[in-house]
Amino acid sequence: MIPIFPKFKPIELTNREVLEGYFREHPPLVSEFTFTNLFGWRKIQNYQVSKYRDGFLVLKEFKAKISFLQPLTTGNQAEAVQACFGYLKEKTEFPAIERAGEDFIAAGAWDDSQFVISEDRDNFDYLYDTKELTELAGEKFHDKKNLLNQFLKKYQYRYQNLTPELVPECLRFEHEWCEDRDCEKIEGLSHEKCAVLEMLNNFHSLSSKGGIIRIAEKIVALTLGERLNNDTMVIHAEKAKNGITGLYQAINWEFLKNQAQDFRFVNREQDLGVEGLRRAKMSYNPVRLIKKHRITQR
């Protein structure tokens, strides 16, 4: 059971039904707000949840910095924000609300004398057209189509939708992928590994979907995603073995063909300010970036 604000408790599997029910009634724009994402990252971000009026508040503590995610409420946004700041004022010198979506900001009546709202570019979500990514047609996708064709011509492979029975193999693949990249020495990859292992170990209890590619019957690529809202699939993770040209393009292509044809858009989450990741995400020609904001007090 989720306690009533100002009490909090860590997010756990028993919260899935009530939080997913809220997300179905109030479809989110930003990638953070699926239960799988909140649950998968709960240990890294120290996510805790509280019931607040018609919705919920999600508290996070990362690197000893405590803040809130965007309040999940359809009521008075500014009032919910004030409640968050009231809670934070005795716990941190720099209270903030993070990852506030465009819709949340647009719906609020913000007093400029009280709040500072700033764009958080490193956490903007990248939104793509599903049809474009499955067809890869035209000059703007020439390089991606070329890499995919190289893979299709060179390799005999098999794609499978992820099932609970495949999870043990996927766990081994994730560990191998991280060994190849020294994940434990790179903070971002180490954190992502923790989240992916949580998503895989609890795959049977979550609403996520996934896909794998095998070459010579060995898993060489893995992806995880799920429904974000009525017209958007969100991709949580995408991994491919080093040294196989076109493999990343292939797992993306196969997964979208098999699992995302009911969705007009694909949200591939943020780049976290990593230059190489930003270039890679831009190279797939997003139809738009979904802005997120940071709210602080004056």
* C-alpha to C-alpha distances, 152 to 77, 139, 143, 191, nearest whole angstrom: 50, 20, 14, 32
Mean pLDDT of the chain: 97
CB-hemisphere CA count at 13 Å for 35?
21
Q: How far apart are CA 211 and CA 213, in angstroms?
A: 7
Please give the pLDDT value at position 75: 84
Condensed to tens digits (0 to 9), the pLDDT of residues 150-182 reads 999 999 999 999 999 999 999 999 999 999 999
End-to-end CA distance of the chain: 35
Whether pLDDT at 194 is above 90:
yes
Q: Which of 73, 34, 99 is nearest to 290 (CA)?
A: 99
Q: How far apart are CA 48 and CA 248, in angstroms?
A: 34
- Strands (DSSP E) found in 86-192: 97-101, 115-119, 125-129, 157-161
Please give the pLDDT value at position 267: 99
Query: Which amino acid, 224?
Result: L
Whether pLDDT at 183 is above 80:
yes
Condensed to tens digits (0 to 9), the pLDDT of residues 216-244 reads 999 999 999 999 999 999 999 999 999 99
Condensed to tens digits (0 to 9), the pLDDT of residues 271-287 reads 999 999 999 999 999 99
What is the torsional sign of CA 87, 89, 90, 95? positive
DSSP H or E run through 44: helix 42-45
Q: 9-124 and 127-269 share one CATH topology?
A: yes
Residue with the bigger pLDDT between 77 and 50: it is 50
Whether pLDDT at 112 is above 90:
no
CATH 3.40.50.300 fits 9-124, yes or no: no
Tell the burial category of 223 from Cβ atoms under 10 Å away from its Cβ (0-12, 13-18, 19+): buried
Q: Where are the domains of the chain?
A: 9-124, 127-269
Whether the full predicted model's pTM is greater than 0.85, yes or no, is yes
The region that residue 204 occupies, defined by phi over 0 for left and psi between -120 and 50 for alpha, beta otherwise, is: alpha
Which residues are CB-contacts of 47 (< 8 A; sequence separation ≥ 6)?
10, 11, 38, 41, 58, 59, 60
How confident is residue 247, by pLDDT bands cut at 50, 70 and 90? very high
How confident is residue 74, by pLDDT bands cut at 50, 70 and 90? confident
Q: Which fold has domain 127-269?
A: Aminopeptidase (3.40.630)
Contact, 235 vs 98, CB < 8 A? no
Question: How many Cβ atoms are within 10 Å of 102's Cβ, its own excluded?
Answer: 14
DSSP H or E run through 279: helix 275-282
Condensed to tens digits (0 to 9), the pLDDT of residues 17-59 reads 999 999 999 999 999 999 999 999 999 999 999 999 999 999 9
